[in-house]
Amino acid sequence: MIQVLCGTDIAIEENSMVCITGQSGCGKSTLMHILGLLDSPDEGSIELFGKEVTSRAHDTAMIRNRDLGFVFQFHYLVDDLTALENVALPLMIGGKNFRESSKRAQELISWFGLSARQSHYPHQLSGGEQQRIAIARALANSPKIVLADEPTGNLDPDHSHEVWETIQRLNREFGQTFVIVTHEPKLAEMTSTRYVLAQGVLSKL
Ligand X SMILES: Nc1ncnc2c1ncn2[C@@H]1O[C@H](COP(=O)(O)OP(=O)(O)O)[C@@H](O)[C@H]1O
What residue ranges bind ligand X (CB under 6 A)?
A: 2, 4, 22, 24-30
The partner in contact with residue 24, picked from ligand X, Mg ion, none with C-beta cut-offs of 5 to 8 angstroms by kind, is: ligand X
Q: How far apart are CA 86 and CA 125, in angstroms?
A: 13
Smaller CB separation from ligand X, 29 or 130: 29
Q: How far apart are CA 159 and CA 106, in angstroms?
A: 22
Cα angle 91, 95, 96; round to 5: 60
Q: How far apart are CA 32 and CA 172, in angstroms?
A: 23
The partner in contact with residue 71, picked from Mg ion, ligand X, none with C-beta cut-offs of 5 to 8 angstroms by kind, is: none
Binding to Mg ion by residue 29, rule CB under 5 A? Answer: yes
Name the minimum Å distance from CB 1 to ligand X. 9
Name the minimum Å distance from CB 180 to ligand X. 13
Strands 193-198 and 47-48 turn out to be unpaired
Smaller CB separation from Mg ion, 28 or 104: 28
Name the minimum Å distance from CB 176 to ligand X. 23
Binding to Mg ion by residue 182, rule CB under 5 A? Answer: no
Measure Cα distances from 167 to 18, 23, 134 in Å: 12, 23, 12
The partner in contact with residue 3, picked from ligand X, Mg ion, none with C-beta cut-offs of 5 to 8 angstroms by kind, is: none
Q: How far apart are CA 122 and CA 58, in angstroms?
A: 32
Q: By the criterion CB under 5 A, which residues form the site for Mg ion?
A: 28-29
